[in-house]
Every structure is written in structure tokens, then in C-alpha cells.
Amino acid sequence: MRNNFISVIVPIYNVEKYLKKCIESIINQTYKNLEIILVDDGSTDDSGKICDEYASKDTRIKVIHKVNGGQSSARNAGIDVCTSGGEFITFVDGDDYLAADMYEYLFNNKIEGGICCCGIADVSKYKIHDIKLHNDIVDLTGSDILEKYLDVQLEVYNNGKDQSLNLSTSFCNKLFSKKLFGKIRFPEGLLNEDNFIILDILNKAVKVRCLPENKYYYVKRLGSTTQKEFNLRSLDLPESRKTQEKQIAKYLPNSLWKSRVLTLLACINVLALLAAVDNRKNLKSDIVSLYQTVYERKDFINKLGLKYKIKLKLFLSFPELFFIIFHQKLKLTRIYKQIFYN
């Protein structure tokens, strides 16, 4: 039946080293009713060729070749050409891969007009971080959906521990009722694109079901859009959190303070990344803007975990010392990534 189809959208850019494993994990799913949309976002390596080769062997695969516009642009192109008439949509990044039964697992627990989520396992060069976060199926409805999302985000970023529920911002571990998107699209030209629209999507869902098993394998590698060090687009993270503040003010105003704390945490993280920039004079206006955002939310310091309390106090009192300390820390981080990633 057409309403049993799942549209799988895969944005692809220069991931030839990982792409075959990704595509193989999709076409070999135990759940077969798939429309697989591979969006080659102007790759300069053999990624586009690999897509065409697989399309010639599997009629479920549709390939889009487009001028490079970024991950959001590629995802949007995939959404716009979904023609299966199916009820469900999901996403995979071109350098990640799936457990063989991921879509069967999600579809068997599907929510009409809602979202079903599984767990994510992190994959580095030498190991797979495959820890189950909870043992039972958890269903959320109404205001509990956004409330729990905010709580999970605070757990991860504030307390420095694994989240307690498979309700992350990622769009890749979720099976969405397609009608939730409507006219909603990912903002183009930005990093952290998921943050900008996840709350709008969650707010429209009649129910969100969180499953315990890890079925999506997220490959941490140097050069991926989520593993790069500071660049100007890193500033999109605080902006995405500010956007979420506006959404929470509309959907869940009593919990706005949680969203403002998340914005504060995002600013602190980006300021720490700025320490890697040798000539910060060119970013003076950006630093001033971040400082203003932090200062407006500094009264939430008691809502922060110890690590972030120290960072915030250090930045507000001794900003130059803050940058010196994190410059050295980032040097060590680069060495670690060279050893364990790629």
C-alpha cells in the first residue's frame, strides 16, 4: 500500500569514502517499502557517480544532482520531490549508516500524525558508543513533548551527561508523519539547521514515541558539518537557540527560562570555540554580540552545571584569560581527533 511507503532523504556532499556503506544499509533494510532520494549537493568527488550506480540497480532510488547549497538545501530538495504518496518521511546523512531493521522497528511503532524516535550510537575510529538510554517505550503528548525536549537538551549540554531519553534534535533517528512538514523547510545557508525547525515540528505532532534501541549509527569524522572547529557559521548555534526562545514563548511560555538557559549555554560553547581563532579583531562585533546575549542571561547562572558556571564567571571577569585557556584546550582536542576520528 502506498501509505506504507517511507520516503528516505539522503543529503550527500563529498562523502565517497562512506557513501557505499550508507546506501547499502538503506537498500538492505528489512522494511522494503522505501522511496530512497539521494541528493548529490554538488559533490566534487565521486559521490554523484556512486549515487547513479546504485540508482541503475535499484528502482526505489531517485537521484537529484544539484548545485551545492548546503545540507538544508539538499534536504529541502528531497522533501519537494517526494512522490511516493507515502505517509512517512525520514533522513539519513551520507556518511552515517543504519541497523538493518531500523525502519521496520520504527514503522512497527509508527504514530499517525506524530513522530517515532530510536536511539543513536556514536561511531569513532576505534569504537562504537552504543549505550541504551532507557529500557521502555515512552510516549509523550501535548505540552509534555516540548517540556521533555527542553529537559533533555539541558541534560546533555548543561550537565555533561548522556540524555535520559531518545528525544534529540537530530532528524535522522526519527520517522515523521509527512504532513507535519507542510510548508516547513530547513533554513538554508545555516549550520545547526535542525534547531531552527524542530520545535515547530514537535509542536504539531499528536504524539512522540521514544523507542529504547539504538538503530542509527552516527559517524564522527573530521570535516563533517558537525565536527568542524570554529567558523563564522558556528555563530548560527546561538541564533538557532534565540529562534527557539521565540517558539517556546509562543508554545510553552512558562518554560521560556529553560530555552534562555540553552541560549546561554550555546553562547558559552561558541565563545570557547572562538579561542581557536588567532586574530579575533576581525570578529569583534560578533564577540560583542555574544557578550550582550550572555550578559542578558547571566542571571540564570544558578541554572547552570558547575562546568558552565566556571566558564561563565571566567569569561565575564577575565575574558582574555578565558580565551587563552580554551586556546590551549582546543590544541589538545585537535590531537585527540586526529587519533580517534577518520
User: Got the DSSP string for 198-223?
Assistant: HHHHHHH-S-EEEEEEEEEEEE--TT
Question: Whole-angstrom Cα distance, residue 299 to residue 91?
Answer: 38
Q: What is the pLDDT of residue 226?
A: 47
88 phi and psi angles, rounded to 5 deg: -130, 150
Q: What is the pLDDT of residue 58?
A: 98
Q: What is the pLDDT of residue 220?
A: 84
Q: What is the pLDDT of residue 162?
A: 63
Q: What is the pLDDT of residue 337?
A: 54
Q: Domain 2-219, what fold?
A: Spore Coat Polysaccharide Biosynthesis Protein SpsA; Chain A (3.90.550)
Q: What is the pLDDT of residue 156?
A: 85
Q: What is the pLDDT of residue 333?
A: 64
Q: What is the pLDDT of residue 259?
A: 98
Q: What is the pLDDT of residue 222?
A: 61
C-alpha cell at 223: 570535516
- Start-end of CATH 3.90.550.10 domains in the chain: 2-219
DSSP state of 59: T
Q: What is the pLDDT of residue 126?
A: 67
Do residues 26 and 60 lie in contact, with contact meaning Cβ atoms separated by under 8 Å? no
Contacts of 327 (CB under 8 A, 6+ apart): 275, 276
Global pTM value: 0.91
Tens of pLDDT along the chain (342 residues) come to 556 899 999 999 999 999 999 999 999 999 999 999 999 999 999 999 999 999 999 999 999 999 999 999 999 999 999 865 678 999 999 999 999 999 999 999 999 999 999 999 999 866 787 778 888 999 999 999 999 999 999 988 876 666 778 899 999 999 999 999 999 999 999 888 999 999 999 999 999 999 999 999 999 866 554 444 556 667 899 999 999 999 999 999 999 999 999 999 999 999 988 887 877 788 888 889 999 999 999 999 999 999 999 999 999 999 989 988 988 877 666 554 554 555
Q: What is the pLDDT of residue 228?
A: 45
Tell how many helices (H) and how many strands (E) occur in the chain: 11, 10
Do residues 36 and 61 lie in contact, with contact meaning Cβ atoms separated by under 8 Å? yes
Question: Whole-angstrom Cα distance, residue 89 to residue 82?
Answer: 9
Q: What is the pLDDT of residue 215?
A: 97
